[in-house]
Amino acid sequence: MTATALPEGGAFRRAWDVIARPILEFFNGVGARGYFLREILRALGEPGTYLPEVVKQMRAIGVDSLPLASLVAAFIGSVIALQTRYQLFPGIQLSVIGLIARQMVILELGPLLTGLVLAGRVGAQMTAEIGTMRVTEQIDALETLAFDPVAYLVVPRIIAGLIMLPVLTVYADVIGIGFSFLTSVIVTDVHTFDFRAGLRLGFSQFQVFYSLLKALMFGGAISFLCSYEGYVTGAGAEGVGRSTARAVVIASIWILVLDALTAAVLAPYLQA
């Protein structure tokens, strides 16, 4: 890469390695992903190429991930209910448990854990699939056959990710709250009425919108970042492995970053 070509010299080279190279690599990475995004936007103009693949990817990303996302949400809901109940000191009304379970599941843990789980399961799968196609020159073959590889491989995954992660988050929210309710009523001394009263207390539709907005961003981030890492994979099977691990890490970090940014920007509108 010309942008990171190293000048000659001892101390200067070390300073270059320590300070300037990471910065340049960062800008290089951002620029490369920017170009990739431009390619994706361009490829949206070829629906005949990507639409037939969208449903297939929606099944792989969404339907096949439903059991795992549901399992995680169920356990998280139960743990929230138990932890909240046993941390309450006497005098606090038990309806707080319903309120806390709803707020934690809908606003935070539902979309976040679904995103992280999918980053591990689906993100790795995307990177490995596209990366393998790259190292086995199938992508080059597609180009030879006048198929746009971005439209054929990346766009369906991004569309599927953008659609299916909110769908999975809806299930995760409902299952998380449902198991929180069941755990509270069956295992602890919380009454149905208490939980229901807390569940409805100070609820607004914006909370659901906030949850789905986060899921939408996480879905886009997972599919975009993991597709990119697979698309630029090199150096054989080892490179595919490295790209897969790197994709999962980057996607997970970006999910957390986006989560924090969303909370910082939209949290004031969530005040009950």
Partner 1 sequence: MRPRDNILVGAVITAAFVVLVVGTLWLVRGGLQGGYPMYVRLPWGSGIKQGQTVFLTGVDVGFVSAVDLRTDGTLVVEMRIRKQFRIPEGTTASIEPNGFFGDVDVALRPSRPTTSYIPPRDTVPAGKPAPTMAQLLARADSASTRLGDVARVVQVEMVQGGGIADLRKTLESANALVVQLSGIAAAQSRYLDRTMRSLSRTVSAIDSATVDSAVKNLKTTTANMSDLTNNLERATSQLDAVLVKVDSGGGTVGKFVNDPAVYNNLQAVLARLDSLTADLRRNPKRYINVHIF
What residue ranges bind partner 1 (CB under 8 A)?
A: 52-53, 55-56, 58-59, 62-63, 66, 91-93, 95, 102, 163-164, 166-168, 170-171, 173-174, 193, 197, 199-205, 208, 212, 272
Question: At its nearest, how many Å lie between partner 1 and the CB of residue 21?
Answer: 45
Q: Which is nearer to partner 1, 102 or 134 (CB)?
A: 102
- For the bound state, the minimum distance from the C-beta of residue 138 to partner 1, rounded and expressed in Å, comes to 20
Q: For residues 194 and 259, which CB has a smaller minimum distance to partner 1 in the complex?
A: 194
Q: Which is nearer to partner 1, 115 or 131 (CB)?
A: 115
Which CB, 102 or 214, lies closer to partner 1?
102
Is the CB of 170 or the CB of 255 nearer to partner 1? 170
C-beta of 176: minimal distance to partner 1 in Å? Answer: 12
Closer residue to partner 1 (CB): 8 or 189:
189
Considering the complex, what minimum distance in angstroms separates the CB of residue 17 from partner 1? 49
Contact assessment for residue 111 and residue 214, using Cβ atoms and an 8 Å cutoff: yes
CA–CA separation, 179 and 188 (whole Å):
13
Classified as helix, coil or strand, 268 is: helix
C-alpha torsion angle, residues 182, 187, 190, 194 (rounded to 10): 0
Tell me how far, at minimum, the Cβ of 259 lies from partner 1, in Å: 20
DSSP 9-21: -HHHHHHIIIIIH
Quote the least distance from Cβ 44 to partner 1, whole Å.
Answer: 19
Residue with smaller CB distance to partner 1, 212 or 248: 212
For every residue of the chain, DSSP letters joined together read -GGGPPPP-HHHHHHIIIIIHHHHHHHHHHHHHHHHHHHHHHHTT-HHHHHHHHHHHHIIIIITTHHHHHHHHHHHHHHHHHHHHHHPPTTS-THHHHHHHHIIIIIIIHHHHHHHHHIIIIIHHHHHHHHHHHHTTHHHHHHHTT--HIIIIIHHHHHHHHHHHHHHHHHHHHHHHHHHHHHHHHHSS--HHHHHHHHHTT--HHHHHHHHHHHHHHHHHHHHHHHHHHHT--SHHHHHHHHHHHHHHHHHHHHHHHHHHHHHHHGGGG--
The least CB distance from residue 153 to partner 1, in Å, is 16
